[in-house]
Amino acid sequence: MQPRLWSLTLGNFAIGTGVMVVPGMLNELAADLAISHAMVGMLISAFAMTICVGGPFLASWTSAIDRRKLLTASLLLYAVMHFVSAFAPDYVSLLLARMATALGAAVFTAQAAATAGLMVPVAMRGKAIGLVFLGWSIAAVVGAPIGSYLGAHIGWRPTLALVGLLSAVFAAAVWVQIPARLFVAPMDRAAWKALFANTPLLLTISVTAIQALGMFTMFAYMALLLKDFIGASPTIISLLFLCFGITGVIGNVIGARVMDRMGPMRVGVAAMSCMLLAILCWPLSRGSLPISVALMLLWGFGCFAINGSQQARLVGMAPSLASASVSLNSSAIYLGQAAGAFLGGVIVSSDGTANLSFFAVVPMAVAIAVSIMASSMAERRRMVGAA
């Protein structure tokens, strides 16, 4: 595997850390800004919705830009807006700054995967994309735990500033390691029309949104959930997020290694099944730290393997539409996050955290069913084309 891919992995690590620190600092942000937990959830929702709406347009508008320049600039924007967020005087300012920060993530997450696909032979594409998304898995190991621990000990403002510094350093690494004059296929109206005419491809993208909806209905409020269910302190919460992230890395590495052999669809279904089982069993964790640890480990094992498998699946289904499909898939991730954080906020505000998992189970089960259906449709379409 090309060593240059590691700069993209590190870039995704910075992006993922910036996303994951906010759920980790849920309780601290609510207390310092004197707002409800649901309003903190809106920071997650607004960030995600900005990426969802802006991602496809940015993919189209930036398709003619050299990938090295584009990826470096997007990480620098991400860095600058984290510094701005750290100095936000009030909730509204922070909300607007987070939405601007999301524009950098909207470009980098999708285009890092597409760029990795351009840098390796076709036979190694799945492994390369899995490696790039390993950065997100590593961010899960340190992002939410850092948010929880540093947010409680040094405050949320210095924590966001540290993410900005990290992003700036990795932007320099991308500039040094990614080759110049690397371009994706132009994203014109015909490409988008072909994408929206491909039903199996659209169903596959919908899987990403549906499973993210199920996940973030709970995960956006996990710090509060752990506090309510087991009376967890900030240190315990950060350690549980660490458990989640460790198995996230393990699951992503295993998924990347077996993806070219098993196929990305099977890897994705296995990952979602792990998450479904953890959410389904979550009510058993009330009052039990060991069960909470076990379920966080199981959930993490599947959580970040799904992202790499979905991206590799889309690239393999329609290579000529990869730039558009991967961008739309990134939007789907954040659409699910936005909807999940919003739904979870409504439930937490009206009913507390007791029944939160019941609202997360259904979307995850639906995502598995849609994934299998999309695979069957794609295979029938392939056979008809061959005939």
Looking at residue 190, which CATH number applies to its domain?
1.20.1250.20
Question: What was the pLDDT predicted at 207?
Answer: 95
In terms of residues, how long is the chain?
387
Reduced to 3 states (helix: H, G, I; strand: E, B; else coil), residue 191 is helix
Distance from chain centroid for Cα 35: 25
**C-alpha to C-alpha distance for 22 and 25, rounded to whole angstroms:** 5
Name residues of the chain where pLDDT drops below 50: none
8 A C-beta contact, residue 108 and residue 132: no
**C-alpha to C-alpha distance for 376 and 387, rounded to whole angstroms:** 17
Helices 356-386 and 322-351 pack at an angle, to 10 degrees, of 160
Which pLDDT tens digit goes with each residue over 226-239?
999 999 888 898 88
**C-alpha to C-alpha distance for 157 and 140, rounded to whole angstroms:** 20
Question: What was the pLDDT predicted at 260?
Answer: 78
Question: What was the pLDDT predicted at 360?
Answer: 93
**C-alpha to C-alpha distance for 295 and 320, rounded to whole angstroms:** 40
DSSP assignment letter at 286: T
Question: What was the pLDDT predicted at 160?
Answer: 94
Closest CA to 177 of 3, 296, 304: 3
**C-alpha to C-alpha distance for 82 and 291, rounded to whole angstroms:** 35
Question: What was the pLDDT predicted at 223?
Answer: 86
Question: What was the pLDDT predicted at 180?
Answer: 81
**C-alpha to C-alpha distance for 118 and 182, rounded to whole angstroms:** 8
Which pLDDT tens digit goes with each residue over 175-228?
998 888 777 666 667 777 888 888 999 999 999 999 999 999 998 888 899 999
* Domain span including residue 359: 5-386
Q: What pTM, to 2 d.p., does this model score?
A: 0.75
Question: What was the pLDDT predicted at 385?
Answer: 67
**C-alpha to C-alpha distance for 1 and 26, rounded to whole angstroms:** 38
Question: What was the pLDDT predicted at 281?
Answer: 95
Domains held by the chain: number: 1
Q: Which residues contact 352 (CB under 8 A, 6 or more apart)?
A: 228
Question: What was the pLDDT predicted at 53?
Answer: 82
Question: What was the pLDDT predicted at 270?
Answer: 93
Question: What was the pLDDT predicted at 226?
Answer: 92
Q: Which residues contact 323 (CB under 8 A, 6 or more apart)?
A: 59, 63, 111, 114, 184, 185, 187, 191
